[in-house]
Amino acid sequence: MNFQKLVIGASMAIGVSALATAPAHATSFSFDNNTGEINTYTGGSDGTFIRGNAQGGTNAAIQALTDNDPTSNVELWYSTENPTSNVGFTATQGNYTATVSSVTANDWNNFGSQWVGDLLNTYTPFKSVWNGFSASTKSLITSSFSSLGIGDPNIGGFQFGQNGAVQLQLVGDLDVKTKLSATISSNLNAAWSGGVGAILGKAQASITVSDIDAKISLLKPLSASTTVQAQINLLTSYKDLLNFQTTLNGYAGGIGVSEIAKVVTGGQTYYAYSFNPTVSGITASDDRLSYSACYTWNTPGYTPTPVPESSVMLGLLGVAGIFVTQRKFKKASI
């Protein structure tokens, strides 16, 4: 009996200790602003990214955010790829809160340069080309990146760490070269229509960097004229875009880019994005390119919340079993 009491006492001590250290996982979610712009998706068995039936449905959205499956996710601002306001959700766990939302053009103005810098540090072959650009070209390209359609994020998962830090699973593209090329081509066409074509007087398809340099050399002696200097600036930006396009076309690797979410937590504002993709196994049903990768992002100091090991849980069940056994012993002795 003394040995039995000792075993029971030790088991209870282990069980109580495990209960005391087991984390509280309850996280509540509320959906902010225009909930009609929030939609839930699932990754289909055929590898297709499927829009769910629960548009604005909070239960489906919460399930997608907490099911540990990034292919089921919640899109913040689904009607277009260029959000005009911040819509999203607020997660609360105890004293911790975090608001996750879409990214607007105004947000992009605040962090666009940071994003471009991180992009160039990841894909270094573009860095030397970028450093040779004029300030106006850098500004033009940076502002145009917001049109890549990455500000309406699909959030595949959300969780708090044990210290209140936040981790997000983001959906994105495994390779955005096609989208980047289209963006640069659009800028080239706009610049051509905006005056480059008239200055050079040739067909756009036949223009080379050498043609532009030759024209700039002819104009430089007249650069005291404001009009001529404006022409030189326009030609310089056009040449920069051509060089960027050439580098992009010659780049053999993939350019993985996640979508971007705005995260406000602990009194700080962050922009969640990553350039480190993991193949998702799904693609969008329309372009068969989007959502081909998943990305993980977290706030500084994030540490996963510990989960009780199976042996500890078995110990807890063992304690419960001892109490049941004791009741049976008592019944048998009556």
Query: Which secondary-structure segment (H or E) carries 80?
Result: none
Q: What is the pLDDT of residue 284?
A: 67
Q: What is the pLDDT of residue 172?
A: 85
> What does each of the 334 residues of the chain score in pLDDT, given as a tens digit?
454 444 444 444 444 444 444 445 589 999 877 777 888 887 655 555 555 544 446 788 898 899 888 778 898 998 888 898 999 999 999 999 999 999 999 999 899 999 999 999 999 999 999 999 999 899 988 888 887 888 999 999 999 998 899 999 998 888 999 889 999 999 999 999 999 999 999 999 999 999 999 999 999 999 999 999 999 999 999 999 999 999 999 999 999 999 999 999 999 999 999 999 998 877 666 666 667 889 999 999 999 988 665 544 445 445 445 444 444 433 333 4
Check if the beta carbon of residue 277 is closer than 8 Å to that of residue 293. yes
Distances (CA, A) of 160 to 19, 38, 66, 96, 304: 20, 21, 11, 8, 8
Q: Kindly give the interhelix angle for 177-191 and 135-144, rounded to the nearest 10 degrees.
A: 120
Output the six-digit token pair for 175: 């390779």
- Cβ-based neighbours of 184, under 8 Å, separated by 6 or more: 141, 241, 244, 245, 248
Check if the beta carbon of residue 72 is closer than 8 Å to that of residue 61. no
Q: What is the pLDDT of residue 324?
A: 44
Q: What's the whole-model pTM score?
A: 0.79
Integer Cα distance of 96 and 135 in angstroms:
41
